[in-house]
Amino acid sequence: MPRFASAFAVVAGTLVTGCSSLPPLTVPQLQAVSQIGEYGSDRLRASDECRGTSTTVEGYVKCMEGKGWKFIARGSIYPAPECWSARATDDPRQMPAAQCFDRAAAPGLTASPPPAPAPAP
């Protein structure tokens, strides 16, 4: 049994040492779960308010932007495909879910593209 314990210690030590040089793994679903604790209830309240006052999907998106939330970027990772599909359908009976929005820099500000690079002299 001592041989097994020492072999386990060597393998565990090797894994820890080898893994310390890898970049941290990010899992979007886990990040979304952590955000629920940070500002999830604010996002849900804003979504409920905007759903109640909006008659179109774009009106809903504008309302959310006015409350400090920006629509998530296009992508293939959940929930982006479902969010953009709901937005493209433009059916007021199927508004995008609250999870389709991320916190903007500050309430009332929407995300804007980065400035164009300065021309070369």
Q: What is the pLDDT of residues 72-95, one digit of tens each?
A: 999 999 999 999 999 999 888 899
Asked if residue 16 belongs to a domain, the reply is: no
Position of tokens 């060597």?
A: 10
Domain count, the chain: 1
Q: Is the pLDDT of residue 109 over 70?
A: no
Q: Is the pLDDT of residue 114 over 70?
A: no
Asked if residue 73 belongs to a domain, the reply is: yes
H helices of the chain, in order, are 2-19, 28-35, 41-53, 57-66, 80-89
Asked if residue 110 belongs to a domain, the reply is: no
Structural domain span for residue 93: 42-103
Query: Three-state DSSP class for 48?
Result: helix
Asked if residue 79 belongs to a domain, the reply is: yes
Asked if residue 34 belongs to a domain, the reply is: no
- For residue 22, CA distances in Å to 8, 29, 31, 48, 81 come to 22, 21, 19, 41, 29
Asked if residue 59 belongs to a domain, the reply is: yes
**How much is the pLDDT for 41?**
84
Name the token pair of 82: 């479902």
Confidence grade of residue 106 (pLDDT, cut at 50, 70, 90): low
Which residues make Cβ contacts (< 8 Å) with residue 4, sequence separation at least 6?
Answer: none
Confidence grade of residue 104 (pLDDT, cut at 50, 70, 90): confident
Q: What distance in Å separates the CA atoms of residue 32 and residue 39, rounded to the nearest whole number?
A: 10
Tell me the average pLDDT of the chain: 76
Asked if residue 30 belongs to a domain, the reply is: no
Name the token pair of 97: 């879910």
Asked if residue 26 belongs to a domain, the reply is: no
**How much is the pLDDT for 30?**
63
**How much is the pLDDT for 70?**
95
**How much is the pLDDT for 111?**
47
**The model's pTM:** 0.56
